[in-house]
Amino acid sequence: MSDKKLKCGLPQDEAELRKLLTPEQYRIMVENGTEAPFRNAYWDNHEEGIYVDAISGVPLFSSEDKFDSRSGWPSFTRPIDSAAIVEIEDLSHGMMRVEVRAKGSNSHLGHVFDDGPAPTGLRYCINSASLKFIPKKT
């Protein structure tokens, strides 16, 4: 893999990851890409449930913390467990941002910004392709 591709912390090589993920998921999660706004699976999802890492299945975000940021990507005020994510300074594209990665799989999820609503003031802007939605059982 090139330096721009991540090396996943799970015991999967590149070929196994390509089998597990769609080409779009691979581009986003492994190659640190971004999906198009308003044209992704979860930006407008209003069902109750949790969002897990598409590689490891670790719970990352809850529908209880999801809000409409009008950005076109699913946005959350906080992760379920901050120990499940890693935040890294990202100076790419001429901007100062904070990248969000899944700790278990080391996959790219999106970015976190400080323009979110109360109570945290944070906006975790996450690629749908990095997530799998698990609906709440009623």
* Residues catalogued as catalytic: 125
Tokens in use for 74? 């699913």
**Eight-class DSSP state of 57:** -
CB atoms within 10 A of CB 131: 25
